Amino acid sequence: MGKYFSAFLTRLTVFLEFFISIMLAVGIILLCARLAGSLIHIPDLDVYPNYDDLLAACFELIIGVELIRMMCYHTPDTVFEVLLFAIARQIIIDHTSALSSLIGVAAIAVLFATRKYLFFGYDMLEKNIFRGSSRVRVVNKVMGCHLPCTSDSDTLESAFCAKAEAEDITPREDACVYFEDAGLRITKMRDGKIKRIEVIHAIH
């Protein structure tokens, strides 16, 4: 009973994140339209939006876009982007003391150092499920990965089976093989044929 309730909560959180992302996207689109319509007032510094207002609004909209990406992808890289823009906004917009700006610059440096030395390739992933008959060449273009491809007719199924045979792995559901920057996982088989394969691309 517990596992079914846990699965329900997982699906519910995914739906809520998706719903919130849609609302945020709609809000950002409306705010962009409002901002675009008010650009005629920029020459008048006493009327919204003057330059400072425009800069602050643009930063806030960019942070909103990065929040949508963070809710969609759930990777350390998207969290990094949100924090980077938030700190940059604090430094550029608020015009606080030199000490505060120095702390902000140091925080950005720490973020970049963390990304370079503490992020691992498979911490940052793009995942998609394809048909086993999908062409490797097409998947490489879509996912930006480098799965081995000797001819245009190579499929994900043939790539998986070749690697599995070389490593003595029996093709079955949830079986995985790994390449330089990507992994393949069987998600569905029928009558001994691979129907669906999940491509897991590590973003470096």
One domain for residues 152 and 187: yes
pLDDT of 196: 94
Contact 80, 115 (CB under 8 A): yes
Whether residue 98 sits in one domain with residue 53: yes
Is residue 41 located within the same domain as residue 53?
yes
- Model confidence at 118: pLDDT above 80: no
Picking from 54, 85, 119, the residue at the C-terminal end of a domain is 119
Chain centre to alpha carbon of residue 43: 38
For residue 12, the enclosing domain spans 2-119
- pLDDT for 46: 67
Shared domain check, 109 and 13: yes
Task: Tell me the pLDDT band of 186, cut-offs 50, 70 and 90.
Answer: very high
Domains contained in the chain, number: 2
List, in order, residues 6 or more apart from 90 with CB less than 8 Å away: 96, 104
Judged by DSSP in three states, 198 sits in strand
Question: In whole angstroms, what is the distance from residue 137 CA to residue 1 CA?
Answer: 44
Cβ neighbours for 180, distance < 8 A, ≥ 6 positions apart: 146
For the entire predicted model, the pTM comes to: 0.56
Question: What CATH number does residue 158 fall under?
Answer: 3.30.465.10
Helices (H), 38-135: 51-73, 76-94, 98-118
| Residue 41 · residue 48 · CB < 8 Å | yes
Task: Give yes or no for residue 33 having a pLDDT over 70.
Answer: yes
Domain's final residue, options 119, 151, 186: 119
Q: Which helix (H) or strand (E) holds 202?
A: strand 193-202
Average per-residue pLDDT for the chain: 84
Give one DSSP letter per residue of 153-181, joined into a string.
T-BHHHHHHHHHHHTT----TT-EEE-SS
90 SS3 class: helix
Q: Which tens digit of pLDDT belongs to each residue from 63-74? A: 999 888 888 777
- Please state whether beta strands 125-131 and 182-190 pair in parallel, antiparallel, or not at all (unpaired): unpaired
Q: Are residues 143 and 172 in the same domain?
A: yes
Give the whole-angstrom CA distance, residue 134 versus residue 157.
8
Decide: helix, strand or coil at residue 14. helix
Token pair listed for 197: 């394969």
- Do both 45 and 93 map to the same domain? yes
The region, left, alpha or beta by phi > 0 then psi within -120 to 50, assigned to residue 85 is alpha
Rounded-to-integer distance, Cα 188 and Cα 132, Å: 9
For residue range 125-173, list pLDDT tens digits in order.
678 889 999 999 998 888 888 898 888 889 999 999 999 999 999 999 9
Question: For 201, how many CA atoms within 13 A lie in the half-sphere containing its CB?
Answer: 17
75 and 168 in a single domain? The answer is: no
Residues 136 and 169 in one domain: yes
